[in-house]
Structure 1
């Protein structure tokens, strides 16, 4: 049904996703309505298509239905005051929507291994008054780093262990990296695309850590993401 969800405006796109069941929660719907996807896409003429689009540096902004799926999957951990790590933040779109879902008092850090993409996310978010506020008050921050190692945020314990309520990974990993699991809180959840052992297919995995620290991994559905790679030299 995803191909039917394109719209002529941000509102029409989100309403179509909602009507087709790709957005289920009113909270996710409201957050996506509040962030204009056109501010994060390379062309305003294609901003409201339900398709992935290139943003340069072999990266893409994912299709809106994939962003909706990630948000719905992480929603139980996206509450007021939650801390969220967005690895492979790219255009900055999902980072912005995540920030809306954790207010008041929440924080979202977008990690990019390419400085130009980190700066792109900042510029895109700064195209709206709301986005400029999120950047200026520190609610959203974009940083350069190797997302496979997570991120030790300011105020986090040494090693960043058990700090993030939710982790979103926006590029396909070769494995569910143990360091990311360590950085999940008790309880916490990670949404991550992972390549299978053949290297030909990718699947979304949900990784949950419960209050006792037990970890459960659940394989969901097949996807096609750009790879989570080494930084350019």
Structure 2
């Protein structure tokens, strides 16, 4: 079952990218490329975000982790997909972006989603694991075991690794299958 074109399109319509960009960048919201949001971070290309959301197949009521939440846009999109029966936790390493993203997310009226500061030396948000779906918006050199460990069984993880978009699927028995879905560039995962 995929997220479906209607659900993903509805999320994009409900959470316009412009609302999550710095004031000086909002006029560029329709640009289909990454946009700088400060602190060396970007708001990802819409086409890339759409592809990631379709791979993730988020369903209503799921528990979702958004690693590298940046401006809060992906966290808001994920919250729209889970609906109020779900939970979305976004984590961000840059303190200024935590505030920036949380402020924008608060305006969406989706209290089931929040953005928290990443814990130094900890990847993801293991305190509330496992998650039905994990979205990582930063490029890793290798697939981080910590992310797979935080995934529920069954669960889906979408993460760019060594220039490739990976879909990691964990089945009900905990077996993991990984597939590549195109070449992408992201800011590095720290």
TM-score (norm 1): 0.75
Answer 1 or 2: higher relative contact order, Cα 8 Å, separation at least 6: 2
**Alpha-carbon displacement from aligned partner over 1:168-201 (angstroms, at most 9, x marks no partner):** 0000012111111011111101000012xxxxxx
Aligned to 1:173: 140
Q: CA deviation at 1:44?
A: 2.1
Aligned to 2:69: 89
Unaligned runs of 5+ in 2: none
Distance (whole Å) between structure 1 residues aligned to residue 164 and residue 6 of structure 2:
26
Instruction: State the SS of the aligned residue for 1:66.
Output: helix
Distance (whole Å) between structure 2 residues aligned to residue 37 and residue 175 of structure 1:
29
Aligned to 2:157: 190
Q: CA deviation at 1:150?
A: 1.8
2:139 is aligned with 1:207: no
Instruction: State the SS of the aligned residue for 1:29.
Output: helix
Instruction: Extract structure 1 runs of 4+ deviating beyond 2 A.
Output: 146-149
The answer to whether the 8 Å contact 1:80/1:103 transfers is yes
Structure 1 residues 188 and 24 mapped into 2: Cα distance closer, same or farther (>3 Å)?
Answer: closer
Choose 1 or 2 for highest CA Rg: 1
Number of residue pairs matched by the alignment: 185
Aligned to 2:117: 144
Distance (whole Å) between structure 2 residues aligned to residue 141 and residue 26 of structure 1:
24
The answer to whether the 8 Å contact 1:203/1:221 transfers is yes
Distance (whole Å) between structure 1 residues aligned to residue 183 and residue 101 of structure 2:
27
Unaligned runs of 5+ in 1: 1-22, 196-201
User: Which of 72, 80, 97 matches 2:54?
Assistant: 72
**Structure holding more strand per residue:** 2
TM-score (norm 2): 0.92
Alpha-carbon RMSD across the aligned residues, in angstroms, is 1.6
Instruction: State the SS of the aligned residue for 2:126.
Output: coil
Distance (whole Å) between structure 1 residues aligned to residue 175 and residue 122 of structure 2:
21
Aligned to 1:50: 32
Aligned to 1:10: none
